[in-house]
Amino acid sequence: MPQLIEYVSISKTGFEKDMEDTYSVTDTHAAVIDGATNVSGQLIAGKTPGQHAAQLIKQTIESLQGPETIEDIITQINDSYALFYRDYQLTEVIKTKPFLRPSATMALYSAYARKIWLIGDCQCYVNGQHYQHGKEVDAVTSQARRLLVEAELAKGKSVADIIASDTSFEMIKPLIQAQYVFTNQLPSKPFSYEVINGDPLYIESFQVIDVPVGITSLALASDGYPHIFATLTETESHLKHVLQRDPLCIYDNVSVRGVTNGKISYDDRTYIHVRIPPFC
């Protein structure tokens, strides 16, 4: 039975209403779920698409009995998506505007299978090792933003100027919206990446980590951390150090956003440290 030892879940703005991450710890599973950032500016019933996605997935995780395979879990999540799209009359809309789709990534631990599945770019720390399942499209968009910010610096703007007013994310939004056409394609396709959005998924694209017998704890997190460690203190300390050194997120932690425009971090962040039984 997983037991929560410590956690944090904070939005990039510092306001709970903006949070698109969530987490769940049940008798059989532990999960961190990262709802995709809203790049459409549109809300669905007062919530962002990423907030809806995170809650749909959380509710499914909390309904699981334990023995379900990852295929079973994805099927149940997708069934919830189908109902959501029907209820909000989005089935046709998302075919032409895929960036409107509620989507999320997830790090999921199953006590029954004694495995962690990384679906998308969430991360975990177990048995002394850090694992993260990154994607190439993020590298492309992050480097595009870096170019824009570097250009502003080269033209004479100061770091403080850009921290106060950073337009780079708005400028790369078309790139981020365009990347949605690559979701859940064959893993061999250029720029393909997996998200949980109601589509069928290629299970072979997930990163799977076996949790060895004898391990008594693990950590799961969203990609709001550049790197995670065995404890929350270590993880938060590393984040603080990186952001102090590179608040624009263009050198040490190249990202599609910086700690700018009044934000407290470059992304929402969630970290859970979970105790698990050593032999089951």
Q: Is residue 156 part of a domain?
A: yes
Q: Is residue 114 part of a domain?
A: yes
Looking at the chain, how many residues does it have?
Answer: 280
CA–CA separation, 9 and 167 (whole Å) = 26
pTM: 0.95
Residue 130, classed as helix, strand or coil, is strand
Residue-wise DSSP of 203-231: GGGSEEEE--TT--EEEEE-TTSSS--SS
Which of 6-10, 41-45, 208-212 has the least mean pLDDT?
Answer: 41-45
Residue 12 maps to which CATH number?
Answer: 3.60.40.10
**Given this model, what pLDDT does residue 280 score?**
61
CA–CA separation, 94 and 100 (whole Å) = 6
Q: Is residue 140 part of a domain?
A: yes
Task: Give per-residue pLDDT as tens, 163-193.
Answer: 999 999 999 999 998 998 899 999 888 899 9
The candidate with the shortest Cα–Cα distance to 123, out of 33, 256, 200, is: 33
Q: Is residue 59 part of a domain?
A: yes
- Domain of 161, in residue numbers: 3-275
CA–CA separation, 153 and 151 (whole Å) = 5
Q: Is residue 225 part of a domain?
A: yes
**Into how many domains does the chain fold?**
1
Task: Give per-residue pLDDT as tens, 37-62.
Answer: 888 888 999 999 999 999 999 999 99
Q: Is residue 280 part of a domain?
A: no
